[in-house]
Structure 1
Amino acid sequence: MKPTITQILFATDLSRNSTYALMHAASLAASTGAKLHVLHVSEPLSDDALITMRIFMQDKGSRAETLKARHDHVKEVLTERQKAFWAALPEADRGIQDQIETIEIIDGHPAEVILRRAHELQCNLIVLGAHDHGFSHTFLGTVAKRVLRRADIPTLVVPYRDEA
């Protein structure tokens, strides 16, 4: 029996390579008819950053506003990148956008959130991009390595390309 792909989770770090990875996720969604879920995970602030914020922002309301502004900024960037991606595609391919089921921004540790959402959404495939090549030319990125180690569904890591 041939495995069926019906739900694809595309995890983006909003890097330049993530657009190239989205092309692969969208292409797979188009060829399989699968629903596409777009996810960006905002890493929590470090303890040092939180302490610094408390020192310089005594008011809890100001701290809450700052954290909300940080989340809103990520949402704006994700929205802009999505619009630019779909606008750059040929008109005939833009219909794939209708297969997007969800676009989410979740705070947390990326690998854990990616794996949890893939399970909750009953995804059959995870797609994410590798980072820029390091000195060894084998650099995947900590998140990709953690997802690959722990995933119980097929995971496609799209390599970085300079011309992407």
Structure 2
Amino acid sequence: MKPMITSILFATDLSHNSTLALRHAASLAHATGAEIHVLHVNEPISEDARITFEMFVLNEETRKSAARRRHEMVKQILAERQARFWASFEGDEAKIRDQVTSVEVTDGHPAEVILRRSVELGCDLIVLGAHDHGFSHTFLGTVAKRVLRRSQIPTLVVPYQNGEDED
């Protein structure tokens, strides 16, 4: 029988709970031999923020440079957190890192990009973390809901857990 899970898309928003979600993705990959694709989606800035930015940064090249720096900063944060996460594994478990076949930072609307990339990468499972209730829950919880509602493959939403060690 063919394994049911051969490719996992782990979608991270770089929040505290995404580390716990990555633990679940790594555990599933270890158990099944699946590859892991790590994805972070930079949300577009709001129209108000864009207009404000254009008002105070008049030079178009400077605005483009700032957008590139934002993207590069997120890549750096993701790389640092990935390194810290995988450094906590020892022995055979450390080999799970070899199952990470891609790490991608891209721009767009998170739910749409997660769903599109899951299809493009041929994933069998999407793993992402939920959020605590509050301001961020309203927006970021919407991403998980949209992914769950529209996904054609199983999706694991790891519940928010207060008090876990932050990576």
Name the TM tier (shorter chain). Answer: over 0.9
Sequence identity of aligned pairs in percent? 62
Q: Check conservation: 1:19, 1:85, Cα contact below 8 A.
A: yes
Q: Distance in 2 between matches of 1:38 and 1:29?
A: 12
Q: Does 1:5 align with 2:16?
A: no
Q: Post-superposition shift, 1:88? A: 1.5
Equivalent position amino acid for 1:104 in 2? E
Q: Post-superposition shift, 1:158? A: 0.4
Equivalent position amino acid for 2:30 in 1? A
TM-score by length of 2: 0.91
Q: Post-superposition shift, 1:57? A: 1.1
Q: Check conservation: 1:8, 1:35, Cα contact below 8 A.
A: yes
Equivalent position amino acid for 2:68 in 1? K
Aligned to 2:28: 28
Q: Check conservation: 1:125, 1:155, Cα contact below 8 A.
A: yes
Q: Distance in 2 between matches of 1:78 and 1:12?
A: 9
Q: Post-superposition shift, 1:58? A: 1.1
Q: Check conservation: 2:3, 2:32, Cα contact below 8 A.
A: no
Aligned to 2:119: 119
Aligned to 1:159: 159
Equivalent position amino acid for 1:29 in 2? A
Q: Distance in 2 between matches of 1:124 and 1:163?
A: 30
Aligned to 1:100: 100
Q: Post-superposition shift, 1:94? A: 1.0
Q: For structure 2, which runs of at least 5 residues remain unmatched after alignment?
A: none
Equivalent position amino acid for 1:25 in 2? A
Alignment CA distance shift 1:56-1:133 (3 Å): closer
Q: Distance in 1 between matches of 2:89 and 2:97?
A: 10
Q: Check conservation: 1:13, 1:41, Cα contact below 8 A.
A: yes
Aligned to 1:81: 81
In the TM superposition, what whole-angstrom CA distance separates every residue of 1:60-82 from its partner, at most 9, and x where no partner exists? 11001110111111011101100
Number of equivalenced pairs: 160
Instruction: Please give the root-mean-square deviation of Cα atoms over the aligned residues, in Å.
Output: 1.6
Equivalent position amino acid for 1:64 in 2? K
Return 59-68 or 88-97, whichever deviates more. 88-97
Equivalent position amino acid for 2:55 in 1? I
